[in-house]
Homo-oligomer: A and B are copies of this chain.
Amino acid sequence: MNLAPISNVQIRPLLERYGLRATRQRLGLAKLLFGKGDRHITADTLAAEAHGARLFASLATVYNVLNLFAEVGLVRSFTVEGGKTVFDTNTTDHCHFYFEDSGEIQDIVGAKFADQFVPPEGYEIAKVDVVVRLQRKRDARAQ
């Protein structure tokens, strides 16, 4: 995937291409997700955003839709410590910075790892999650 921002009208065919019914909630959430480039978002944040855009989708539906999108490959999900699930619209092989102070997540460009691992006999790699946790540098002189 990793599409450039998608205009309104392209979303319906996008869903249909993945065999998904184009419901109002799915269209609206997809528009929020794919309308502004790469995003890292949790279910409750997306629900809040949807609500702000006067798109009414319950939290349960947001979870359903995000999990569904993740299953078909429209988004990618991973978990950060604390147990929160983050959904990423960039489904290519890449790593993440996680800022411990702000909770922000950022793609690490150019870091690819999935093909460096040799899976054990009988298994294949489903995905590789790499999270680099960052903390504010404490200057040696300070403290």
Residues in chain A within 8 A of chain B (CB atoms)? 77-83, 85, 95, 97, 99-100, 108, 111, 113, 116-117, 119-120, 122-138
Q: What are 17 A-B pairs with beta-carbon distances under 8 A?
A: A77-B81, A79-B79, A79-B81, A111-B116, A111-B117, A113-B130, A119-B134, A119-B137, A123-B136, A124-B137, A125-B134, A126-B133, A126-B134, A126-B135, A127-B133, A129-B129, A129-B130
Contacts of A127 in B (CB 8 A): 133
Given A124-B138, A130-B130, 15 further pairs, Cβ under 8 A: A77-B81, A81-B85, A81-B129, A100-B126, A113-B130, A120-B134, A123-B135, A123-B136, A123-B137, A125-B133, A126-B133, A128-B131, A128-B133, A129-B130, A129-B131
Main secondary structure of the interface of A (DSSP, over half): strand
Please state the number of chain copies in the assembly. 2
Contacts of A81 in B (CB 8 A): 77-79, 85, 129
Contacts of A123 in B (CB 8 A): 99, 134-137
Contacts of A122 in B (CB 8 A): 136-137
Write the chain B residue with the least CB distance to A123.
B134
Interchain nearest-CB distance for A118 vs B (Å): 9
